[in-house]
Amino acid sequence: MNISNRIQSVPVSTIMELLTYSAKAKKLGKKVYHLNIGQPDIKTPEGFFDAIRGYKSKVLEYALSEGLPELIDAIRKYYKNYNIDFENEDILITNGGSEALLFTIISICDEGDNILVPEPFYSNYYSFCKSVGVDINPITTIAENGFHLPPKEDIIAKINSNTKAILFSNPGNPTGVVYTKEEIDMISEIAKEHNLWVIADEVYREFIYDGEYTSLGNIKCIEDRVIIVDSVSKRYSACGARVGSLASKNKKFIGSILKLCQARLSVPTLEQVGAIELYKTDNSYLHSVNKEYKERRDVLYNELMKIPGVICKKPSGAFYIVAKIPVKNADHFVKWLLSDFDIDGETVMPCPAEGFYHTPGFGIDEIRLAYILNSDDLKKAAYLLKEGLEAYLKIEK
């Protein structure tokens, strides 16, 4: 009566321990500015709620395993606007991007296989992989270089006979990096030359603040090996809907995923009914959200640049910044901010970045900051970070 080895290799969420610290701080009356989470404060488009309120059937039936046809069609049209040509049969609806990722890993990897992932990466990639016996094969990127990819030969050197895919988020969580056209082309070449799948997690596609964006969906020459993971969570500030999708022109892959979709029967019906309306949201919504985040990015980045010893490049996408800070241990620093520091009863909570790295020892002196607060609050939070850091460095052992 044992717990499996694979589940033992799945890490306990480090953020959960920190949340007990922040809960304690709040209990003591402290105000905590949360820069640690990816939960946007933007309003979900009303159409989502209206559609669900208007649902008429008296029996809440299973949806089709592949997803509601109208939702699939809406997603096809959405991609079409980006010149990404999917057929409805290429798209499956999933329980968030999370299920899309887990099902993908199961379908392309057997136990002992590995997936190339630029680090730092969204830490749940690791949990999904380890839960089904798959390893992450990290491609290290660094703050000094804005977390852009290393040269092609460095990536190729990591590939072995068990390497099945390259997985990355673009724009990147946690780094906010947006890969250049050249980087995407390089990934495509590597995938083709080494017979790998490419899994592109593009849930932050609309969160680009400077320059061009190249979706993997636009790279025609490798379209049979591209898998796009998507979600309404960030795009429409509908994290709690848990509506994601997978898209691929590889019929064998989609057929494989469909078997898993059929086994778990369906994605919630009402959430899909709501999501159909999300995709009809006027483009001005996405533009104004983009404008808002861009402003926040600028505010936070500029404030960070005023803090001595902080190293980061201005990120171009998503709503995160990973910054190197002049401390020995960022986890200890964050706990200290929550338990031992305040200015007029207020403190700030960044997320220690070590959990986003696979290579031991990396990220210990880094934090991730999510700019999910309004600009005034962000300024306040950055001020608290600056003052906190200064005070901490005086007592750091």
In this structure, what is the dihedral angle of CA atoms 39, 76, 55, 280, given to the nearest 10 degrees? Answer: 70
Identify the residue among 72, 108, 178, 370 touching a copy of itself (CB under 8 A). 108
Identify the residue among 17, 41, 144, 340 touching a copy of itself (CB under 8 A). 41
Identify the residue among 269, 290, 329, 375 touching a copy of itself (CB under 8 A). 269
175 φ, ψ to 5°?
Answer: -90, -20
Site for a copy of itself in 189-248 (CB under 8 A): 195-197, 224-225, 237-242
Site for a copy of itself in 115-134 (CB under 8 A): 124, 127-128, 131-133
CB of 362 vs a copy of itself, minimal distance in Å = 21
Does 49 bind a copy of itself (CB under 8 A)? Our answer is yes
Does 160 bind a copy of itself (CB under 8 A)? Our answer is no
Does 252 bind a copy of itself (CB under 8 A)? Our answer is yes
The piece of 26-34, 40-48, 80-88, 288-296 that touches a copy of itself (CB under 8 A) is 40-48
The span from the CA of 36 to the CA of 328, in Å, is 19
CB of 233 vs a copy of itself, minimal distance in Å = 8
CB of 338 vs a copy of itself, minimal distance in Å = 20
The span from the CA of 136 to the CA of 177, in Å, is 20
Identify the residue among 34, 164, 249, 294 touching a copy of itself (CB under 8 A). 164
Does 113 bind a copy of itself (CB under 8 A)? Our answer is yes
For a copy of itself, give the closer residue by CB, 170 or 248: 248
Does 43 bind a copy of itself (CB under 8 A)? Our answer is yes
Identify the residue among 114, 169, 266, 347 touching a copy of itself (CB under 8 A). 266
The piece of 22-30, 150-158, 258-266, 284-292 that touches a copy of itself (CB under 8 A) is 258-266
Does 18 bind a copy of itself (CB under 8 A)? Our answer is no
For a copy of itself, give the closer residue by CB, 25 or 226: 226
Identify the residue among 83, 153, 212, 263 touching a copy of itself (CB under 8 A). 263
Q: How many residues bind a copy of itself, per CB under 8 A?
A: 77
CB of 14 vs a copy of itself, minimal distance in Å = 10
Does 58 bind a copy of itself (CB under 8 A)? Our answer is yes
CB 243 within 8 A of CB 271: yes
